[in-house]
Amino acid sequence: MDVHAALADASTVPFWLDSAERPEPLPPLSRDIPAELLVVGGGFTGLWTALQAKERDPDRHVVLVEANSIGWAASGRNGGFCAASLTHGYDNGETHLPDENDRLAQLGRENLDAIEAAVERYGMDCEFERTGELDVATEDYQVAELREAHDPDAGFVFYGQQQLAELVKSPTYKAALWDSREVALVNPAKLCWELLRVVRQLGVEVFEGTKVTDVSDRKSHVQVTTEVTAETINDCASTPCSTISAERVALATNVFPSLLKRVSLHTVPVYDYALMTEPLSDEQLTAIGWEGRQGIGDCANRFHYYRLSADNRILFGGWDAVYHFGRQISWKYDQRPETFETLAEHFFATFPQLEGLTFTHKWGGPIDTCSRFFSFFTTAYGKKVAMAAGFTGLGVGASRFAGTVMLDLLSGASTELTELEMVRRLPLPFPPEPAAWLGIKMTTQALIKADENEGKRGPLLRVLDAVGMGFDS
């Protein structure tokens, strides 16, 4: 298969954002204003925070500012896997928070139910499908763990190779575990845009092209300084500033540099990449099966995730997670030809019956990760400011929960959520450079070696496990 030909005409715009349904830009903030609650960041975390704030108190004056446009970053270009897990999988939760892991799993299920209820209540057109996810084994050593997790009463169903072939046809599959209840699929950009529609209808003031440059305590309130971004005004030499005097502030900037210096070392940006095919014909769909439309992910440390879109394209992403020295974030890293070619090769190895299919989109971008691989929280200035970050690629669902937590923290009340160890305890920070770059490089190589050695974890990974910085996908 000539993957170069399959990729030749692919757009570099993320598929979900390459849509005529994308809303017209909203004007930036151009005056000083007050706010009872200011939300900084127009991705899932910020939008869910704003929505829940208005649901709690319809009269509350809520303002949301976004430096670029709503949903333009990780929230609008991910795979659209909306998972119940708040801890990047039950096993990872058990490693980091064993005393409350079962409760967190239940809270995650309730959170996913609440997302589905909100989609229905507000009539959100976001292609929500609660089809679950198949975790597939592509190596013999991966099968036993999936078989042991078989628990139909809890929604986890094991399929052997022959049974699985009746669901999805791939020569690479050895077995699978279907998580039938705890994953939904969405069009992530449309979910962002629908959340925008809803919060504006509820009275939230939204300003795009408005970058926050400083957050300062003024005792009675928080002073937030903003500037109009060059992308908005088309003049890099002119960046008009405005000030927001906010009673409370929720920071939802995730992968971008923290506005709170105390947690500036707690996340690093890693680049994730994905492809989208042209729509499959009826014959091509028949050739692969997949009538259940589940999301699919494989079991290796370097894993793939893939799913069908509403118009029967296949999104195929994952594999490489690339860190750039100095925590760099730049548009120039959004395209990585060697990763796209590898993904295309793996796609056709997974579905050789689709030879001749072409890719219409190829894209990438940064996501934030922390050392425990799920979100963390902090407050500042006498709990007038709250922050959430560190979702590590699993924020489509967990972002709503993060909004709930931040609103509880900002209320000053003691609630079940504010007392969770997950909320009270920060993960270990990453070291400064050059140690961060070297450590991430060494860890990546160790994970690759583990995949080549039937999943057996070497000395470095065992040390990271022992100090609470290990991860097993």
Query: Which stretches of the chain drop beneath a pLDDT of 50?
Result: 235-237
In the block, tokens 């490489």 appear at 320
pLDDT score, position 471: 61
- Closest by Cα among 305, 316, 237, 241 to 275: 316
pLDDT per residue over 95-128, tens digit each?
Answer: 999 999 999 999 999 999 999 999 999 999 999 9
- Closest by Cα among 80, 81, 97, 76 to 135: 81
pLDDT score, position 459: 86
pLDDT score, position 211: 96
pLDDT score, position 237: 45
pTM: 0.95
What is the chain's percent helix, strand, coil content, to nearest 5?
Answer: 35, 25, 40
Question: How far is CA 374 from each of CA 93, 272, 385, 419, rounded to the nearest angstrom?
Answer: 9, 16, 20, 17
pLDDT score, position 232: 53
